Amino acid sequence: MKNCLSCNTTLLPNALFCHSCGKQSDGDGVVCFECNNINPKGARFCSRCGTAINIQYTPKPNISPVYGLDFNDIPTLPTQLSEAFKVSISLALDAENNLEKEALFLQTFAKSDFKQQYLEEVTVLMTQEFEAIFEERGISAFKSIETAIEKQFAALLERFFIDFCNPLLPHQLPKQILQYQEASILTTNLHRMLNDYLHLEDEALISYSNAIDIPLKKLKNARSTFFKPEAGETPYAFIDHTLLRSGKEGCIMTAKAIYWKAYFQKSARIEYSAIQKLAYYKDRVEINAIYLNISPSINYKIYRLLARLRTILL
């Protein structure tokens, strides 16, 4: 086996070009990435343009891992955070398996006044906060900094998606959920928040937004199959997903957790604080890799609600 003379990657057998950098694999010369000049083997700098060759890249120690914020350059952090918001758009679309529309979302962002209306002020405030944390704790602060970014960007993404990109979403979201931009687990009425996100009155399925409205027999059936609440847990939303309206299958959300059961599927319960992985597909939602499917529109609204609850609890 031999290595590429340009990037030192181990080449595949009989390869004419490097699968890593695309440069020609044979010969004794080292190709300059800047000007494509062929230099003698062992050259450290290009003889034509002077660019360094085969200098091993050493990651800068003060760059955050997810959003790539360079704390060696504090004055540019507001601009960096603005660019990081575009990263968060791509990450959100990836989680929704909607990357085919990424270019449309980013184009909308570039052409809109969202940056001036909402993002600029937030990035300045975040910079002040993060600079103080970084000065005190150094790179050990990156985890808490990026958690704070994720939490702040979750609210901004919701604003951007609803006010600027609603027609591009798999299912349009109600504007009333924007009242929860400053939501806090300590001060927000979760019962109202759940039902504002789900907007069950728009759905054809049998559903209930208050525990007092759920027929006792139906609630008893749900308890026998999938709803095993802890002491004091009350249904905030109940979606009956049975043909005969028995309540033995469906979805119940409380202040603490989501419970559900589908036909021929095992029942599941996951606390909002225990959600590690959340993904949306056209035919389902996966919560910690567990399948959930009620209906296309409800699936998406549940996904958006859980994504928001997850960041509120960070």
Strand 38-39 and strand 257-261: the pairing is unpaired
Q: Are 66 and 51 in contact (CB under 8 A)?
A: no
State whether 141 and 209 are in the same domain.
no
50: Cα within 13 Å, side-chain hemisphere = 0
146 or 18, greater pLDDT: 146
The answer to whether the CB of 68 falls within 8 A of the CB of 62 is no
Most confident of 69-78, 140-149, 301-310: 301-310
The pLDDT tens digits for 234-263 are 999 999 999 999 999 999 999 999 999 988
CA distances from 46 to 38, 51, 69, 186 (A): 8, 5, 31, 61
Q: 243 CB contacts (<8 Å, ≥6 apart)?
A: none
pLDDT at residue number 263: 85
- What pLDDT, in 10s, does the model give residues 99-135? 999 999 999 999 999 999 999 999 999 999 999 999 9
What is the structure's pLDDT at 54?
A: 60
Look at residue 264 in the predicted model and tell me its pLDDT: 84
pLDDT tops 60 at residue 171:
yes
Distance CA 276, CA 108 (A): 30
Residue 119 belongs to some domain of the structure: yes
Tell me: do 52 and 78 sit in the same domain. no
Quick one: 264 and 163 in the same domain?
no
Say what the pLDDT of residue 40 is. Answer: 74
Q: What is the pLDDT of residues 29-55, one digit of tens each?
A: 677 777 777 777 777 778 888 887 764
pLDDT grade, residue 81 (50/70/90)? very high
Query: Are 111 and 198 in the same domain?
Result: no
Same domain, 218 and 298: yes
Among 242, 173, 236, which Cα is nearest to 205's?
A: 242
pLDDT tier at 74 (50, 70, 90 boundaries)?
A: confident
Provide the pLDDT for residue 17: 64
In a domain, 63, yes or no: no
Q: Tell me the residue type at 158.
A: E
Return the pLDDT at 51. 80
Is 178 among the domain residues? no
Note down the domain range covering 29. 1-57
β-sheet bridge partners, residue 281: 284
Indicate the number of domains in the chain.
Answer: 3
Specify whether the CB–CB gap between 53 and 32 falls below 8 A: yes
Secondary structure (H, E, C), the chain: CCECCCCCCECCCCCCECCCCCCECCCCCEECCCCCCEECCCCCECCCCCCECCCCCCCCCCECCCCCCECCCHHHHHHHHHHHHHHHHHHHHHHCCCHHHHHHHHHHHHHCCHHHHHHHHHHHHHHHHHHHHHHHHHHHHHHHHHHHHHHHHHHHHHHHHHHHCHHHCCCCCCHHHHHHCCCCCCCCCHHHHHHHHHCHHHCCCCEECCHHHCCHHHHHHHHHHCCCCCCCCCCCEEEECCCCCCCCCEEEECCCEEEEECCCCCCEEEEHHHCCCEEEECCEEEECCEEECCCHHHHHHHHHHHHHHHHHCC
Say if residue 188 is in the same domain as residue 294: yes
Arithmetic mean of pLDDT, 289-304? 96
Of 4-8, 16-20, 236-240, the range with the highest mean pLDDT is 236-240
Question: Which residues have C-beta within 8 Å of that of residue 228, sequence separation ≥ 6?
Answer: 259, 267, 269
How many other CB atoms sit within 10 Å of the CB of residue 186? 6
Does the structure show a pLDDT above 50 at 59?
A: no
User: 155: closest CA among 133, 184, 134?
Assistant: 184
Say whether pLDDT at 19 is over 80.
no
Query: Is the residue at 247 inside a domain?
Result: yes
Domain end among 135, 168, 201 = 168
Predicted pLDDT of residue 67: 87
pLDDT in the model for residue 115? 95
Domain check: are 143 and 238 in the same one?
Answer: no
pLDDT of residue 66: 83
**Angle formed at CA 125 by CA 65 and CA 164, multiple of 5 degrees:** 80
List, in sequence order, every residue forming a beta bridge with 239; answer none if it has no partner: 207, 251
pLDDT value of residue 56: 47
Q: Does position 27 have pLDDT exceeding 60, yes or no?
A: no
Same domain, 99 and 164: yes
Residue 179 lies in a domain: no
Residue 1 in this model has a pLDDT that exceeds 60: no
Say if residue 191's pLDDT is above 50: yes
Q: Are residues 44 and 79 in the same domain?
A: no
> In this predicted structure, what is the pLDDT of residue 44?
75
End-to-end CA distance of the chain: 48
Q: Are residues 306 and 189 in the same domain?
A: yes
Q: What is the mean pLDDT of the chain?
A: 89
Do 281 and 198 belong to one domain?
yes
The average pLDDT across 176-198 equals 94
Q: At residue 242, what are phi and psi to the nearest 5 degrees?
A: -105, 150
pTM value surpassing 0.85: no
The confidence score (pLDDT) of residue 197 equals: 96
